[in-house]
Copies of this chain bind each other. A is one copy, B any other.
Amino acid sequence: MILHIKKNAPLQLLLDFYKAAYFEAEETYVLITSSSVKEIETSHKEYVDYNKTFESDIQLASKDYITKRSIQIGDILIGGQSNNTLMITGPCSVESMEQIETSAQFLIKNNIKILRAGCFKPRTSPYTFQGLGSKGLDMLVEMREKYGLKIITEAKDATHIDEVIEKSDIIQIGAKAMYDHGILKACSKTQKPVLIKRGFGSTLQEFVQSAEFVLSGGNPNVMLCERGIRTFENKTRFTLDLCGVSYLKEYTNLPIILDPSHAMGYRYGVADLARACVAMGIDGLLIESHPNPKVAQSDASQQLDFDQFVALQNSLIPVAEAVGMQMI
């Protein structure tokens, strides 16, 4: 149950009674109990301005609570009534200043506003490139300062989450970190936008509940990113779950970003899939692009080269229009 509590209510008493999470909003405290709580004690009703019950622990993210949330990223607006589909691109990893600056200049030239690149890479083998870490993050910051781009990068575990929150414009919680309470809790205490990638073995219920961890700490700026789930099919890297995206659109209020690059794992399918994603009427796309994919130190097979990216970008404009959206 979500309760909006008057500011002069006995907050701690109510928190203890309902074993509730909470955050402070402008004119109210927002308390969130287990969804199994279905009634308010009579003696508490005087403190409650609003309350609503839910079938499951998808509560703050539920369309029954708020129809559609919007998120402001600098002067960029997504979600809500904006009808914007935001393009985010960049290489899988920051590999060098030269590489990331080439990418940054490519974005500027093509009117893309948000640069993505990984610094803390959650590789599954200890014997491969693990990313440039803080050094890479500083390069991204330099790109922001020099080119006015917004930057998004991933936290892979709680040891560097504070640094990522401080320096990044959007904090990406990677698929492998979707359940990381250390990260989720830290993200709930900032107001910076957070993009949560669905774990490839995670149900939609768990995915949205990860967002609830961030929302219930007081950060309303959460985006959900579908990036493919793991299935028996192994001709492709993962299986992009667009049925799941339909579910998220129908039942949740959070902006939805799609990442067809990781789902597919191969360059050849990225453009078709990206067009399919945009035709779903989503809020944004994450596409991996690289100055020279052949020499990329991670995800070489799925990154687009710049010509391929521009061709894709152009092809998305009419698809977005066909469903009443605009690419930004």
Binding site for B on A (CB under 8 A): 20-21, 32-35, 57, 59, 120, 122, 124-128, 156-159, 176-177, 179-183, 199-206, 209-210, 212-213, 216, 228-247, 249-250, 263-264, 266, 268-269, 272-273, 275-281, 315, 318-319, 321-323
Other CB < 8 Å A-B pairs besides A201-B201, A249-B272, 5 of them? Answer: A156-B182, A158-B158, A233-B243, A239-B239, A319-B322
A260 to chain B, nearest CB (A): 8
Q: Are A204 and B181 in touch, CB under 8 angstroms?
A: no
A267 CB to nearest B CB, Å: 10
**Contact A321:B318 (CB < 8 A) given known A32-B127, A122-B181, A246-B264:** yes
Q: Which of B201, B206, B234 contacts A124 (CB 8 A)?
A: B206
Question: Cβ of A240: which chain B residues have Cβ within 8 Å of it?
Answer: 242-243
Tell me the minimal C-beta distance from A157 to chain B in angstroms: 4
| Nearest B-chain residue to A158, judged by Cβ | B158
State whether A183 touches B201 (Cβ < 8 A): no
State how many copies of this chain the complex holds: 4
What is the chain B residue whose CB lies nearest that of A183? B157
Contacts of A322 in B (CB 8 A): 275, 315, 318-319, 321-322
Pull 6 A–B residue pairs with CB atoms less than 8 Å apart, ordered by A: A157-B180, A158-B182, A201-B230, A240-B242, A243-B273, A319-B322
Q: Are A57 and B235 in contact (CB under 8 A)?
A: no
- Tell me whether B159 and A182 are in contact (CB under 8 A): yes
Question: A30 → chain B, closest Cβ, in Å?
Answer: 13
Q: Which residues of B contact A203 (CB under 8 A)?
A: 232-235
Contact of A231 among B57, B231, B249 (CB under 8 A): B231
